[in-house]
Chains A and B, each alone.
Chain A
Amino acid sequence: MIRLPAFTYLAPTTVDGAARLMAEHGREAMLVAGGTDLYPNMKRRQFEPKVLVGLRGIPELRGIRGSAAGGFTIGAGTTLSAVAAHRDILRDFPALATAAGLVSSPQLRNMGTIGGNVCVDTRCNYYNQSYEWRKAIGFCMKKDGDICLVAPGSSRCWAVSSSDTAPVLWALGAKLRLVGAEGERTVPMAALYQDDGIDYLAKRPDEIVADLQLPPAEGWRSAYLKLRRRGSFDFPVLGVAVAARLEDDVVRDARIVLGAVASQPRPSEKAAAALVGQRVSPELIAHVADLAAGPAKPLDNTDFSHPYRKKVTRVFVARALAAVCGLGDSGVTSEEVA
């Protein structure tokens, strides 16, 4: 059996308390909520924290509050199952419910939290391996080594952002509230990330994602498409989140965010801008899909070949746009698009 390394477990009961503990223990400490990302990584010795600060016993982190008109606040400790099944989320932010419901497996969604998914470690198939495997290949810079095995010569790590919910939250214009030892701040999703496989989170280590705030849903439609080998278990090797506001068939606002194509969710601002003010048509969608897929540069460090992932990016963007714009391009099933 592959087992966890030893650690000390601290269980604060408030977010402030958790942030203080994180500040106190510094680099030795890590946060754990559902544990579904952290524990496998610890078993493979990708993480070796001496101290775990458990967030489960903090009531204020759990629950979904708000209304369609005023927006919703989702506690970061809310399980993915709860997000996926929440009546209001299903109605007003169906892409979020879809994304949460497509994370890994049913059991894992019962444990994993939306805060955890937003902060999920970047992945790479040279990195998500056992200690012995990584030692055999000579370790990589993300842990225990100093080179990048997928792009030798690179000065940065190319591990892939693998969150399903992050691109959707970004596309929906969500904000998140970070609570740190020094106080709290509310920032847009974009501010949480940076394009680096190691330091992919732009927050301070003591800062805790306390909740996710969704703006009023009015007029917005959204879709999320996920590419992976199987209908369960697998991380996204491409995620396409599209949100748009239409008046009749003219696009008034649009956001397109791609997941699993970089070390952070990647917005396609140029593509989204090309939609705004336009009347939707198959030609427009094809054009925008090209714009969105163009900059995506997947590397050969996840499942499926990277040229294939690139090819499908265009298809998925087009399909997600068609679904959101009500063009109903076939090929999209109801499960894939909300």
Chain B
Amino acid sequence: MTKNEFAVIGRPLPKVDAWAKVVGETKYADDLFLPRMAYAKLLRSAHAHARIRSIDTSRARALPGVVAVVTADDLPRVKFGILPVSQDEEALCADKVRMVGDPVAAVAAVDEETAEQACRLIEVDYEPLPALMSIFDSLAHPEVMIHEYGDGPNVHKNVALQFGDVEAALEGADLVREDVFFFEGNNHLPMEQHAAVAHWARDGKLTLWSSTQTPHYVHRVLAKVLDTPAAHIRVIATPVGGGFGGKTDPFAHEIVACQLSKLTGRPVKIALTREEVFYTHRGRHPVLMWIRTGFTREGDITGCHLRTWLDGGAYGSYGVASTFYTGVINPVTYKIPVYKFEGARIFTNKPPCGPKRGHGTVQPRFALECQLDKAAEQLGLDPADMRRRIVAEPFTKTANHLTVTTIGLGECIDKVVEASGWRDKRARFGVSARQAPRRSPKKRGLGIACSAYLTGAGTAIYWNDMPHSGVIVRADRSGGVAVLCGATDIGQGSDSILAYLTAEVLGIEPKDVHVHPADTSLTPVDLGSYSSRVTLMCGMAAIQAAERLRDAIFKAVARKLEVSPAALVARERKVGVPDDWDKAVPFARAVELGEALHGVLAFPGSYAPPKRAGKYKGGGVGPSPCYSYSACVVELTVDEDTGTVELENVWIGHDIGRALNPLLVEGQVEGSVYMGIGEALMEEQVFRKNLHKHPSMLDYKSPTTLETPDIHTILVETDDPEGPFGAKEAGQGPLLPVIPAIANAIHHALGIRIDEVPITPDKILKALDLKRAGKPARVGPERLPLFTFKEPLVVESAFGQPAEAVVSRPFASDDKR
């Protein structure tokens, strides 16, 4: 199909929820006020690591206005966690706290002020334990166990995978580079602080409204920890005011709100403060990385060996997946014939890290792309040309058995190179180009980097054979169509995508489609808004459901018009034969005909990704129906006296497969670039004296309009056979190349390497000082942990093998038109 065959797809339409958002009518979780609602606050640990000896809540209970006080004793003693293998969290800590901010008690009161006062009246007797605040601390003190489970003392996960003979490949290389990088942790910083409202009604049924990206997983966890049948629990995800992965776990405050509602017989709201959001965290893991790669003279990669150490924080969260993700996605981008990956996630007494935009892949991408830049320099190659040469082959497998379909990366590189004036500026800017005596301290530089990202995880969080996404489409006699889907709109536009796709298939307008999202009682399960899965998975399910509805309607209209159903088309809110359009039936009438023939017109659509997991343990993380690709060129100025970096332009080419709505895709790309800039230059979640150093919007630095450069987005369409109308993801991938592109541009400007994120002005000045002193002009990590990775699981490299059959997936319609 070419673009102009579509009526809705490819048009820059407003989002369906845009109108409510611009007039302030959208109800986020904290905007809900129910009759008799009580307000709750959590009392959080002031210790990074301590045993709880006792908790005295008597003074809090006595405070007028307090309606309930709870501790772990008031909840079933059931641990939870997002991954079945890491059930290590408690809604309220019973015996031990593992970080400052761990919840230990909660108060519900007539207002928030009273609840807060009451929390301050609770006395907790702690027995402090040694706090382990870094990977090094935790490995050095195996006698201090943060958890009793894992792959070793304070080791949450230890993985090692080898695909082919990497040592041999490196031996045969013309150049072998070994580099060490560090990526500091950072927070999602959604503008909306998490909030939840629970109502345990008198009929014994519980409803939870929450700003969550994963209502289905919250539903499962509530049933487990509250010891209540899931059938009596309803979770509604309210519109999420920014997620970025930070609202993807089930959280203590959600569970506690439910229990307090049960105990008080009143609706209960908990709204976190900004500081609490920093403790809730699940943000980017700090990752230390060692990467050894062999190159030929021409710039081809002969093999790559990557080691990662993740600072996981106090709980498991998605950590096992995060660990794998630091290793498994890099091979999707370039031709890497053999590959070895070793990774370990270490527990520390800090807020738990988890999935942030680009989950686990952002850090090793920084390492690989900076290393490529260094290699290109050493080999005398242009870094753009070198990358262009080694782009992976479409419809092949990677060394680690991932099936790759379409790849638009070559075109992305070409386009950003051209748009940015790469060749001219690389020659004109840059430290090597300058012979003139110092005139201005402001030096310009240009850098490039590329990346790939999955379009939805190929496996669910809990093992099952059910759909990952389900949609019900119901046609109304009015001509309106309701779409029920468990997906959560976190601002990315999933409600809109559902409306567009349904409208496209049925030949109606998006306005005729009413999307009812994210309500576990009403909507088929969608696993959640994470891993860039929603457009593809919900989209495919919606298309299937809409096609089934369309087929039913066609059958009825065909009878009426006495033509074959195959002769019919649906467009312009009509159903008819193109050559006899005057007789076309209005859509509402067509629905009536359909309902008369079939009864109620409601059809399901289901989607599960193709089963392509590598046949080895650990092969379940990394597979995706298809991968998006991005290439990024950054143009910047560095002040060599102050180390200040000013970004001027970012060009980003993104292989989107197909832009279902180019406006929304651009928005996702621009937002990704923005977030990458923040991580590259200023955002960091750091600790001092066991405490978060700056849990506030003022001191945790997030770029404003003034730090954000002009972003030039170039969309490349490859029409992927796995995606809805060919679409791939856009929400995460474009973040990845921005950070190394900035690092590489700084090197171009000044001839220094900052192998550590964030790249702050003081690190730049330090590197310049080293350079002036004739030392290696590099600032970055100097040491690696003493740690024994487990024996690698050795698997043959699948590099270059042809992709397995495309478009063969569970629940696919046989009657594919």
Direct contact between the two chains A and B in their complex (CB within 8 A): yes
Given contacts A136-B691, A304-B762, A307-B762, contact A231 B707 (CB under 8 A): yes
B156-180 CB contacts (< 8 Å) to partner A: none
Query: Min CB distance, A135 to chain B, in Å?
Result: 6
Closest CB-CB distance, A309 to chain B, in whole Å?
Answer: 9
B765 near A125: Cβ-Cβ < 8 Å? no
Whole-angstrom distance between the alpha carbons of A311 and B271 in the complex? 43
Q: Does B464 contact A (CB under 8 A)?
A: no
User: Out of B120, B442, B691, which one reaches A137, CB within 8 Å?
Assistant: B691
Q: How far is the CB of B471 from chain A (nearest CB, A)?
A: 37
Contact A229–B691 (Cβ < 8 Å) = no
Interface size on B, residues (CB 8 A): 40
Contact call A233/B765, Cβ cutoff below 8 A: no
For the complex, is B495 an interface residue (Cβ under 8 Å from A)?
no
A1 to B704, Cβ gap below 8 A? no
Interface status of B706 (Cβ within 8 A of chain A): yes
Checking A128, A232, A312, A330 against B704 with a beta-carbon cut-off of 8 angstroms, the contacting residue is A232
One of A227, A229, A330 near B442 (C-beta < 8 A): A330
Inter-chain CA distance A305–B758, complex, in Å, is: 14
Does B356 make an interface contact (CB < 8 A)? Answer: no
CB of B46 within 8 Å of the partner chain: yes
* Chain A residues with CB below 8 A from B703, complex form: 230
**Chain A residues within 8 Å of B698, by CB:** 128, 233-234
Asked whether B275 lies within 8 Å of A133 as measured between CB atoms, the reply is: yes
Instruction: Contact check, A3 vs B704: say whether CB atoms are below 8 A apart.
Output: no
Is B273 located at the chain interface by the 8 A CB criterion? yes
Residue of A with least CB distance to B640:
A331
* Nearest A residue to B706, CB-CB: A231
Q: How far is the CA of A233 from the CA of B442 in the complex (A)?
A: 24
Asked whether A315 is an interface residue with its Cβ less than 8 Å from the other chain, the reply is: yes
Q: Mark A245-262, 1 if CB is under 8 A from B, else 0.
A: 000000000000000000
Closest residue to B441 on the A side, CB-wise?
A: A331
B residues within 8 A CB of A305? 762
B109 to chain A, nearest CB (A): 13
Whether A308 lies near B765 (C-beta < 8 A) is yes
Mask, B666-710, CB within 8 Å of A = 1, is 000000000000000010000001011111101101011111000
Q: Is B762 touching A308 in the complex (CB atoms < 8 A)?
A: yes
Contact B707 A311 (CB under 8 A): no
Contact in complex: B271, A1 (CB < 8 Å): yes
CB-CB nearest in chain A for B703: A230
Chain B residues near A315: list those with CB within 8 A. 641-642
Rounded to whole Å, the gap between the CB of B688 and the closest CB of chain A is: 9
A133 and B642 within 8 A (CB): no
Contacts of B44 in A (CB 8 A): 132
Let me know if A69 is at the binding interface, CB within 8 A: no
CB-CB under 8 A for A230 and B707, given A137-B689, A305-B762, A331-B442 = yes
Q: Are A3 and B112 in contact (CB under 8 A)?
A: yes
| Residues of B close to A307: CB separation below 8 A | 762
Asked whether B440 is an interface residue with its Cβ less than 8 Å from the other chain, the reply is: yes
A131: min CB distance to chain B, Å: 8
Pick the residue among A131, A227, A311 that contacts B765 (CB under 8 A): A311
Q: Please, which residues of chain A bring their CB within 8 A of the CB of B693? A: 125
> What residues of chain A lie closer than 8 Å to B509, measured between beta carbons?
none
CB distance from A61 to the nearest CB of B (A): 27
Select which of A125, A130, A229 is within 8 A of B682 by beta carbon.
Answer: A229
Mask: chain B, 416-460; 1 = CB below 8 Å from A; 0 = not: 000000000000000000000001111000000000000000000
Interface pair A231/B699, CB less than 8 Å apart? no
Residues in A with CB closer than 8 Å to B74 are none
Nearest-Cβ distance from residue B95 to partner chain A, whole angstroms = 20
CB-CB under 8 A for A136 and B271, given A230-B682, A312-B642:
no
Residues of B within 8 A of A125 (CB): 693-694, 699
Q: Which of B442, B643, B682, B706 contacts A232 (CB 8 A)?
A: B706
Residue B639, interface by CB 8 Å: yes
Tell me which residues across on chain A come within 8 A of B701, comparing CB atoms: 229-230, 234, 303
- Nearest opposing residue in chain A for B760, CB measure: A304
Is B116 in contact with chain A by the CB < 8 A criterion? yes
Map CB proximity to B onto A119-161 as digits: 1 under 8 Å, 0 otherwise: 0000001001111110111000000000001000000000000
A45 to chain B: closest CB distance in Å? 10
A239 to chain B, nearest CB (A): 14
In the complex, are the beta carbons of A331 and B707 less than 8 A apart?
no
Bound CA span A303–B643, Å: 15
A337 CA to B374 CA, complexed, in Å:
38
- Across the interface, do B641 and A230 meet the contact criterion of CB distance under 8 Å? no
Closest A-chain residue to B116, C-beta based?
A3
Smallest beta-carbon distance A227→chain B, Å? 8
Contacting residues, chain B, for A2 (C-beta < 8 A): 273-275
A2–B641 Cα gap in the complex (Å)? 40
> Quick check: is B540 within 8 A (CB to CB) of the other chain?
no
Residues B439 and A132 in contact, CB atoms below 8 Å apart: no
Within 8 A of A (CB), among B96-127: 100, 112-113, 116, 120
**B690-739: which have CB < 8 Å to A?**
691-696, 698-699, 701, 703-707
Q: Which residues of B contact A231 (CB under 8 A)?
A: 704, 706-707
Q: Which B residues are CB-close (under 8 A) to A308?
A: 643, 761-762, 765
Check if B440 sits within 8 Å of A330, measured CB to CB: yes
Taking CB as reference atom, which chain A residue is nearest B119?
A: A132
Q: Does B47 contact A (CB under 8 A)?
A: yes
Which chain B residues border A304 with CB–CB below 8 Å? 760-762
Q: Closest Cβ of chain B: how far from A4's Cβ, in Å? A: 9
Assembled-state Cα–Cα distance A308/B692 (Å): 22
For A40, the closest partner residue in chain B by CB is B698
User: Chain A nearest CB: distance from B172 CB in Å?
Assistant: 44
Q: Which residue of A lies closest to B641 (CB)?
A: A315
B706–A132 contact, CB under 8 A? no
Interface centre among A128, A133, A315 (most CB of B within 10 A): A133
Q: How far is the CA of A129 from the CA of B274 in the complex (A)?
A: 12
Would you call B113 and A3 a contact (CB within 8 A)? yes
Closest to A233 in B: B698
Measured between beta carbons, the chain B residues less than 8 angstroms from A135 are: 46
CA distance A230 to B691 in the complex (A): 24
Taking CB atoms, residues of chain A closer than 8 Å to B704 are 230-233
With most chain A CB atoms within 10 A of its CB, the pick from B47, B120, B699 is B699
CB distance from B122 to the nearest CB of A (A): 12
Residues from chain B with a CB closer than 8 A to the CB of A133 are: 275, 691-692, 695
Report A's interface with B, CB cutoff 8 A: 1-3, 125, 128-133, 135-137, 149, 227, 229-234, 303-305, 307-308, 311-312, 315-316, 330-331
Further pairs besides A229-B682, A234-B698, A304-B762: 8, Cβ < 8 Å: A1-B271, A3-B116, A125-B699, A131-B120, A232-B705, A312-B642, A330-B439, A330-B442
Subset of 29 A-B contacts with CB under 8 Å: A1-B112, A1-B271, A1-B273, A2-B275, A128-B696, A128-B698, A128-B699, A129-B695, A129-B696, A132-B44, A132-B46, A132-B275, A133-B695, A136-B47, A137-B689, A227-B642, A230-B682, A230-B704, A230-B707, A232-B704, A232-B705, A234-B701, A303-B701, A312-B641, A315-B642, A330-B440, A330-B441, A331-B442, A331-B639
Q: Which 8 A-B pairs have the closest CB atoms?
A: A231-B706, A308-B762, A136-B46, A330-B440, A331-B441, A232-B704, A315-B641, A229-B701
